Amino acid sequence: MAYSMTYQILADHLLTGRLEPGEEIGLRIDQTLTQDATGTMAYLQLEALGIERVKTDLSVSYIDHNTLQGSFENADDHRYLQSVAARYGIYFSRPGNGICHQVHLECFGVPGQTLLGSDSHTPTGGGLGMLAMGAGGLDVAVAMAGHPFYLAAPEVLKVNLVGELPPWVGAKDIILELLRRLSVKGGVGKVLEYGGPGIKELSVPERATITNMGAELGATSSLFPSDEITRSFLKEQGREEQWRPLSPEPGAVYHEEVTVDLSRLEPLIACPHSPDRVKTVAALESLPVDQVAIGSCTNSSYQDLFLVSKILEGKTIHPGVNLVVSPGSRQVLWQLAEAGVLAGLIASGARLLEAACGPCIGMGQAPPSGGVSLRTFNRNFAGRSGTADASIYLCGPATAAATALKGVLTDPRKLGPPPELPPPPQFMDKDRMLIPPLPENKGEILRGPNIKPLPLNEPLPENLSIEVLLKAGDHITTDQILPAGAKVLPLRSNIPAIAEYVFAALDPTFAERAKQSDGGAVVGGENYGQGSSREHAALAPMFLGVKSVLAKSFARIHRANLVNFGILPLVFADPLDYDRLTQGDRLVIKNLPKQLEQDTVIVTNLTAGWQFEVKHQLSRRLIEVVKAGGLLNYNRNH
């Protein structure tokens, strides 16, 4: 069989299992990345695994999420992360060096390799021809310890890009078009593989914008070929020797195909509160806007920000708009300065933020009450911005800059001819903010008082009795399960403290009720757990006593995180049974270990006096992980 690019990389890294869609496979992981919102817990877990040094070819610890230091917690965690990196053989990217995905593209990404990151937007690396996947921190820790990363072998959706982009239409509009067509769960269980003549006009940063937001489709990863455009990018980065070609084998087999005619696209925008609520900018023109935020791992490259600077050059932003700009990396910031456009960007009235995630993760720049914020980010879930009643729209950098000038949503095609984009200035000073690991296992690991011991689950009991603590709707995000932002994220290494915020946005009484319950369950609708890879959305509920989540369907990473911490994910055999359940119902699953031998499990609702069927859809290995009370317990037992 002729292989797609995805299956070529899978075959090269296969350790266990069969390359058949849906079959569980174990992969060798070449590289890992973590960031500070998830990395602290990942490295506590790595310590618990008892290894001497990481066994990957390369691992990098980035500081990019929690760079606000309103109190000691973030600074202490950064110090811990740096000491762990030195001890275990991990590169350390200092605060201010940039967003993990942007810096990894610049400094470390290698075509044809596997990359596993404790961040859902790790597939950004697919713009460089990597098979890059997001996962929970525990999965990343286990990979760093030299164990396989397990997942269901994906289907491959080929995306044919044909035609040429019209002026003022960009990469962001391509991925928004796919979200409009496929929805936020259209990529679940799939890798999106891009091809066709249209890819030839897309630079690596543009490709990375597209692969980055493949995460919003629920996709396992997204992948572009490694071609001469890739080679040119690596040459610019001083890494041309790491280039290798990657393309589909002739006659490669795909499970599904979709074609996007680039010439028919126009500027698009995602409306509140989901990335797939996509409309044309023209249809919403003249919408008053209070804030414009440009940056994030999606649109903060030199190419993006140079375009913004030329649009704003010699002009002043509208008095009713607050414009903030976050460069993706220190390299991007330097290139803008060297190209002579940074001063003009500042002179326009833009507020220049640190090279970090910033507003995208809710770290500052919350919009005003009831405000409208236009962002070049990847997610616009309700409340994620830090303002519960704000309306967040997602768009490309050209639309954002045009709107900042006018004060209302503006189609950039009204600006006249687009500016020329010159090659980026050469930047070869990458190592100054990247600290390599010590050559030997030396150095003390430094822990602040906010770093608490890692909680462990207990093995599943013979008979499981659980109270329905919460009944939630469709598309519940990890932000709704456990919020991010400047108030909560500093508690990420303190599970007892952060657990107090579980489901706080949906039900402020949840944490207290869960602690008082003798075993709890959560009931959810479709695509439960979409969004961020943060494993705290599983770990903190586990700490509160949640034993199972019953849903119509799960997002991939969150389902894996539930299993990793011994929470049993169950899917309704009949979705109508979801409607019959009520908060407060007491559910019992008898002879649970025996029932898990089959995919169908019988649940009894003691409160209402009826039974229903659920499916666990777990491999034999995952069944044993859940029975053991999670992956750490399982590894210790084996």
pLDDT in tens, 529-565: 999 999 999 999 999 999 999 999 999 999 999 999 9
DSSP letter, residue 443:
S
pLDDT in tens, 522-539: 999 999 999 999 999 999
> Which pair of structure tokens corresponds to residue 477?
């995000």
- C-alpha–C-alpha distance, residues 453 and 619, integer Å: 30
pLDDT in tens, 235-289: 999 999 999 999 999 999 999 999 999 999 999 999 999 999 999 999 999 999 9
User: CB neighbours of 339 closer than 8 A, spacing ≥ 6?
Assistant: 302, 306, 422, 424, 425
pLDDT for position 438: 81
- C-alpha–C-alpha distance, residues 223 and 192, integer Å: 6
pLDDT for position 296: 97
pLDDT for position 492: 92
pLDDT tier at 635, thresholds 50, 70, 90: confident
User: What is the reported pTM?
Assistant: 0.96
pLDDT for position 636: 82
Beta strand spans in 262-414 (E): 268-270, 278-280, 291-294, 322-325, 351-352, 372-375, 391-394
pLDDT tier at 68, thresholds 50, 70, 90: confident
pLDDT in tens, 360-412: 998 999 999 999 999 999 999 999 999 999 999 999 999 999 999 999 999 99
SS3 505: coil
pLDDT for position 592: 96
- C-alpha–C-alpha distance, residues 115 and 123, integer Å: 8
pLDDT above 90 as % of the chain: 93
Is 457 inside a domain boundary? no
Say if residue 381 is in the same domain as residue 509.
Answer: no
Say if residue 579 is in the same domain as residue 633.
Answer: yes
Rg (CA), the chain: 24
pLDDT tier at 330, thresholds 50, 70, 90: very high
Q: Is 427's pLDDT higher than 90?
A: no
Q: Are 397 and 307 in contact (CB under 8 A)?
A: yes
DSSP letter, residue 407:
S
pLDDT for position 8: 98
Say if residue 285 is in the same domain as residue 189.
Answer: no
Last residue of a domain, one of 264, 291, 323: 264
Say if residue 18 is in the same domain as residue 135.
Answer: yes
Last residue of a domain, one of 264, 298, 319: 264
**Cross-strand partners of 259:** 160
Residue 283 has a CB neighbour count (10 Å cut-off) of 13
Say if residue 255 is in the same domain as residue 119.
Answer: yes
CATH number of the domain enclosing 114: 3.30.499.10
Residue-by-residue DSSP string for 536-588: HHHHHHHHHTEEEEEES-B-HHHHHHHHHTT-EEEEESSTHHHHH--TT-EEE
> How many domains does one find in the chain?
3
Pairing of strands 291-294, 372-375: parallel
pLDDT for position 200: 96
Chain-centre distance for alpha carbon 536: 14
Is 371 inside a domain boundary? yes
Q: Is 126's pLDDT higher than 80?
A: yes
Q: How many CA atoms lie within 13 A of 256 on its CB side?
A: 13
Is 419 inside a domain boundary? no
Say if residue 309 is in the same domain as residue 236.
Answer: no
CATH number of the domain enclosing 582: 3.20.19.10
Average pLDDT, integer, range 570-592: 97
Q: Is 188's pLDDT higher than 80?
A: yes
Q: Are 247 and 225 in contact (CB under 8 A)?
A: yes
pLDDT in tens, 194-249: 999 999 999 999 999 999 999 999 999 999 999 999 999 999 999 999 999 999 99
Residue 462 has a CB neighbour count (10 Å cut-off) of 11
pLDDT tier at 165, thresholds 50, 70, 90: very high
Among all chains, which residue has been given the structure tokens 């002043």?
316
Average pLDDT, integer, range 92-117: 97
Output the average pLDDT for the chain. Answer: 96
Residue 376 sits at φ, ψ, to 5 deg, of -90, 30
Say if residue 410 is in the same domain as residue 276.
Answer: yes
Going by C-alpha positions, the residue among 476, 430, 548 that lies closest to residue 185 is 476
Among all chains, which residue has been given the structure tokens 């107090």?
500
Residue 382 has a CB neighbour count (10 Å cut-off) of 18
- C-alpha–C-alpha distance, residues 153 and 596, integer Å: 22
DSSP letter, residue 50:
T
In which domain, by residue range, is 244 found?
A: 5-264
Residue 377 has a CB neighbour count (10 Å cut-off) of 30
Going by C-alpha positions, the residue among 243, 238, 436, 210 that lies closest to residue 331 is 238
Is 452 inside a domain boundary? no
- C-alpha–C-alpha distance, residues 237 and 526, integer Å: 42
For the stretch 251-254, contacts whose Cβ atoms lie closer than 8 Å and that sit 24 or more positions apart, written own/partner, are 251/2, 252/2, 252/3, 252/4, 252/5, 252/7, 253/1, 253/2, 253/3, 253/4, 254/4, 254/156, 254/157, 254/158, 254/193
pLDDT for position 88: 95
Q: Is 147's pLDDT higher than 80?
A: yes
Is 434 inside a domain boundary? no
Residue 372 has a CB neighbour count (10 Å cut-off) of 20
pLDDT for position 137: 96
pLDDT in tens, 615-632: 999 999 999 999 999 999
- C-alpha–C-alpha distance, residues 445 and 457, integer Å: 25
pLDDT for position 439: 82
- C-alpha–C-alpha distance, residues 460 and 547, integer Å: 8
Q: Is 444's pLDDT higher than 90?
A: no
Say if residue 256 is in the same domain as residue 380.
Answer: no
Determine the longest span between alpha carbons in the chain, in angstroms.
72
- C-alpha–C-alpha distance, residues 27 and 11, integer Å: 9
Last residue of a domain, one of 381, 414, 447: 414
Is 446 inside a domain boundary? no
Is 426 inside a domain boundary? no
Say if residue 204 is in the same domain as residue 70.
Answer: yes
- C-alpha–C-alpha distance, residues 285 and 486, integer Å: 33
Say if residue 35 is in the same domain as residue 89.
Answer: yes
**Cross-strand partners of 269:** 279
Going by C-alpha positions, the residue among 130, 147, 143 that lies closest to residue 193 is 130
Torsion of CA 501, 503, 509, 515, to 10 degrees: -70
Say if residue 190 is in the same domain as residue 273.
Answer: no
Is 24 inside a domain boundary? yes
pLDDT tier at 429, thresholds 50, 70, 90: confident
Q: Is 45's pLDDT higher than 80?
A: yes
Cα–Cα distances in Å, from 190 out to 93, 217, 461? 31, 9, 34
Say if residue 241 is in the same domain as residue 353.
Answer: no
Q: Is 576's pLDDT higher than 80?
A: yes
